[in-house]
Amino acid sequence: EENGHQIKRLKRDADEEDAEDQNKKSPKRKIVLLMAYSGKGYHGMQRNVGSSQFKTIEDDLVSALVQSGCIPENHGEDMKKMSFQRCARTDKGVSAAGQIVSLKVRLIDDILEKINNHLPSHIRILGLKRVTGGFNSKNKCDARTYSYMLPTFAFAHKDHDVQEEVYRLDKETLEKVNKLLACYKGTHNFHNFTSQKGPRDPSAKRYIMEMYCGEPFVRGNIEFAVIKVKGQSFMMHQIRKMIGLVIAIVKGYTTESIIERSWGEEKVDVPKAPGLGLVLERVHFEKYNRRFGNDGLHEPLEWTEEEEKIAVFKEQYIYPTIVNTEREEKSMVNWLNTLSIHDFNSSAVGIQANNKNSKNSSDLEGSDGCDDDSD
């Protein structure tokens, strides 16, 4: 037994020496990492240095980068030292299949394998590419694509007594859902789909490129469907409120005209769908790719070779978590029961009072995504 410990100790010492030698040889380079993770049990993506009670995805990532020898320990404490930038902030419990972070690291041998060895299995680094020295994953991102996986009984009309496991979405209802989701396309004033933004705030205007719901499928006896949305950037809770309002219309709590009304200056009570089911699918760098993708020095930031690994990760970690959590915690069922409380025709004063009351609980969850005003 003692011999065994001694051998382990010698091996560890040798590994540390190898790492030191490697560090001397390896200059720091700007790279991007393609990440996938299941967000359950985490307080979002972004690290809160000095707040260890709320564990984030970046806490585990930074720890793995230090342990693998990619960055010195003091860079983990001050992330600016490695020029760290995540492409999108994700909320408490939100997962990602194609998150991108940019940072400076030592390009050690077998770098992906070494980082992944120090990560839990529900967080994986699936790819790495060299980028220009001034690259910033948030600023250079042109668009983000999110998906939202939900049980289809969410679209059952409120006057129908629904057995969750028996419900199946019919063609006409799916067509209605897609007609409503398509209304969001283009540039609109989304001040009613977030908190702390007034109707005249220019940053409340957002551009949505596409939004649609795919064909339903069955998992664990419950039928699910996936809504995809691609936009330049999203504000806090914006995607969940866009989906929440469509559900309220399809269920018969309010009329289709509320969408148009919500873009006006009037304050509209927009319900926010649960965070479970929201996944950052991919981030887009079209402008960067056009400028640097074929310059002979850098690769375009596309991940076709990693698509299979992304699909496997989703099947293994993201979808089962959404399905099992929905079954156990019934987050959609519980949220649907609150829709009748919303007053879709109420005055601005009434809504402000409601917002004040609900603010304390809801805003702890953070943002759907992506830019400066979304934390």
Position with higher pLDDT, 293 vs 263: 263
Residue 8 is predicted with a pLDDT of 61
The topology (CATH level 3) of 28-140 is Alpha-Beta Plaits (3.30.70)
pLDDT at 373: 35
Q: Which residues are catalytic?
A: 91
What share of the chain has pLDDT > 90, as a percent? 70
Residue 288: the pLDDT is: 93
pLDDT exceeds 50 at position 353: no
Question: Above 70 in pLDDT, residue 42?
Answer: yes
| CA separation, residue 132 to residues 82, 102, 119, 157, 269 (Å) | 14, 10, 27, 52, 45
As beta bridge partners, residue 101 has 33, 86
The pTM of this model reads 0.85
**CA dihedral defined by 187, 188, 193, 198, rounded to 10 degrees?**
120
Measured distance CA(342)–CA(353) in Å, rounded: 12
Average pLDDT, integer, range 128-137: 92
pLDDT-based confidence at residue 21 (cuts at 50, 70, 90) = low
Residues of the chain with pLDDT > 70: what percent? 84
Each residue's pLDDT tens digit, 157-210? 999 888 889 999 999 999 999 999 999 999 999 999 998 899 999 999 999 999
Residue range 286-296: mean pLDDT, rounded: 88
Binding residues for substrate: 146
The per-residue pLDDT for 122 is 97
In whole angstroms, give the CA distance from residue 148 to residue 259: 19
Model confidence band, residue 52 (pLDDT cutoffs 50, 70, 90):
low
Instruction: Please report the pLDDT score of residue 267 as a whole number.
Output: 93
Per residue in 86-130, pLDDT (tens digit) is 998 888 889 999 999 999 999 999 999 999 999 999 999 999 999
Domain(s) labelled CATH 3.30.70.580 in the chain stretch across 28-140
Helix, strand, or coil here: 204? helix
Mean pLDDT along residues 353-370: 41
Sequence-distant (≥ 6) Cβ neighbours of residue 41 within 8 angstroms: 55, 93
Confidence (pLDDT) at 352: 46
What pLDDT shows up at residue 261? Answer: 95
* Chain centroid offset of residue 167 CA: 28
Assess whether pLDDT exceeds 80 at residue 324. Answer: yes
Q: What is the mean pLDDT of residues 333-342?
A: 95
Q: Which residues, other chains included, contact 35 with Cβ-Cβ below 8 Å and sequence gap of 6+?
A: 57, 61, 96, 98, 99, 100, 101, 123, 124, 125, 126
The mean-pLDDT minimum among 21-30, 121-130, 185-194, 336-345 falls in: 21-30
Q: For the chain, give the mean pLDDT.
A: 87
User: 128 or 74: which carries more pLDDT confidence?
Assistant: 128
Q: What pLDDT sits at residue 297?
A: 81
Tokens of 104: 């400076």
**Other C-beta atoms within 10 Å of 339: how many?**
18
Domain with CATH 3.30.70.660 in the chain: 143-346
Assess whether pLDDT exceeds 70 at residue 19: no
**CATH fold of 143-346:** Alpha-Beta Plaits (3.30.70)
Q: Which residue has the higher pLDDT, 225 or 54?
A: 225
- Nearest to residue 281, comparing CAs of 243, 247, 248, 239? 239
Indicate the pLDDT class of residue 54, thresholds 50, 70 and 90: confident
Q: Give the chain's length.
A: 375
Distance CA 205, CA 93 (A): 27
